[in-house]
Chains A and B, each alone.
Chain A
Amino acid sequence: MLSYIIRRILYAVPILIGVNLITFLLFFMVNSPDDMARAQLGAKQVSPELIHSWKEARGYDKPLFINYESEGIQKATDTLFVQESLKLFSFDFGFSDANRDIGSDIKERMAPSLAIALPTFLIALITNISLALLLVLFRGSVLDTSMMILAVMIMSISGLFYIIAGQVLFSKMWHWVPISGYESGWDGVKFIILPVLIGVFAGIGSGVRWYRSIFLEQINQDYVRTARAKGLSELKVLFGHVLRNGMLPILTGVVVIIPSLFMGSLIMESFFGIPGLGSYTIDAIHAQDFAIVKAMVFLGSVLYIVGLILTDISYTLFDPRVKLS
Chain B
Amino acid sequence: MKIILLWTDVMVWLLVISLLLWAWTVSRSPQVRKLWHTVFKSSIAMASAIILLFYLLFALLDSVHFRLATTTNESQSKTLQYGGITSLLDIMFSHNMKNTERTYSAPFATHEYTKSIVLNEHGVTKQEYLPLKYVGTGDDIIGKSIFAGFVGLVIVGVLILMHILWRGRRGLKSELPWRTAYLTFGVLIITFTWLYLLSYHYHVLGTDKVGGDVLYQSLKSIRTGVLIGILTTLIMLPVAVILGVSAGLFGGWVDDGIQYLYTTLSSIPGVLLIAAGVLSMQVMMDNNPTWFETTLERSDLRLLFLIIILGVTSWTGLCRLLRAETLKISQIEFVTAAKAFGVGKVTIIRRHIIPNLMHIILISVVLDFSGLVLAEAVLSYVGVGVDPTMHSWGNMINQARLEMAREPMVWWSLFSAFVFMFILVLAANLFSDRIQRVLDPRNKS
Contact = CB atoms under 8 A, between A and B. Distances in A.
The answer to whether A and B touch in the complex, with CB atoms under 8 Å apart, is: yes
B418 A161 contact: yes
Interface of B: 260-261, 263-269, 271-273, 275-277, 279-284, 287, 370, 374, 377-378, 381-384, 393, 397, 401, 404-405, 409, 414, 418, 421-422, 425-426, 429-430, 433, 442, 445
A308 B263 CA distance: 10
A276 to B, nearest CB: 14
A296 B418 CA distance: 31
A290 B409 CA distance: 37
Interface residues of A, number: 46
Contacts of A35: 283, 287
Nearest to A288: B279
Interface stretch (A53-61, A66-74, A82-90, A152-160): A152-160
A94 interface: no
Nearest to A148: B433
A132 to B, nearest CB: 16
B264 A18 contact: yes
Given A15-B263, A300-B269, 17 more contacts: A14-B260, A15-B267, A18-B264, A22-B273, A26-B280, A30-B283, A152-B426, A152-B429, A159-B374, A160-B378, A164-B397, A285-B383, A290-B279, A293-B275, A293-B279, A297-B268, A304-B269
Nearest to A283: B383
Chain B binding site: helix, strand, loop or mixed by DSSP? helix
Contact of A26 (B260, B276, B374): B276
A79 interface: no
A19 interface: yes
A178 to B, nearest CB: 14
Interface stretch (A188-196, A240-248, A260-268): A260-268
B397 A220 contact: no
A248 to B, nearest CB: 16
Contact of A285 (B384, B409, B414, B426): B384
B428 to A, nearest CB: 8
Nearest to A263: B269
A266 B269 CA distance: 11
Nearest to B433: A152
Interface string A265-289: 0110000000000000110011010
Given A152-B426, A157-B422, A285-B279, A300 B404 contact: no
B371 to A, nearest CB: 10
15 contacts: A15-B267, A18-B261, A23-B268, A26-B280, A30-B284, A31-B280, A39-B283, A158-B377, A160-B381, A164-B397, A168-B404, A220-B445, A296-B272, A300-B269, A301-B268
A62 B244 CA distance: 38
Interface string A220-239: 10000000000000000000
Contacts, number: 124
> What 6 A-B pairs have minimum CB-CB distances, sorted nearest first?
A18-B264, A300-B269, A156-B426, A301-B267, A30-B280, A156-B425
Nearest to A278: B271
B48 to A, nearest CB: 11
Contacts of A23: 268, 276
A285 B269 CA distance: 14
Given A297-B269, A297-B273, A15 B264 contact: yes
A121 interface: no
Contacts of A27: 276, 280
B378 A267 contact: yes
Interface centre among A27, A35, A301, by most chain B C-beta atoms within 10 angstroms, is A301
Interface in A84-125: none
Contact of B382 (A156, A164, A217, A266): A266
B409 A31 contact: no
Nearest to B426: A156
Contact of B397 (A156, A160, A288, A294): A160
B239 to A, nearest CB: 15
A168 B418 contact: no
A41 to B, nearest CB: 15
B127 to A, nearest CB: 25
Nearest to B428: A156
A285 B405 CA distance: 25
Contact of B430 (A152, A161, A308): A152
Nearest to B284: A30
A167 interface: yes
A7 interface: no
Given A158-B377, A286-B383, A266 B271 contact: yes
A14 B264 CA distance: 9
Contacts of B370: 156
Given A19-B267, A152-B433, A160-B397, A285 B382 contact: yes
A295 B129 CA distance: 52
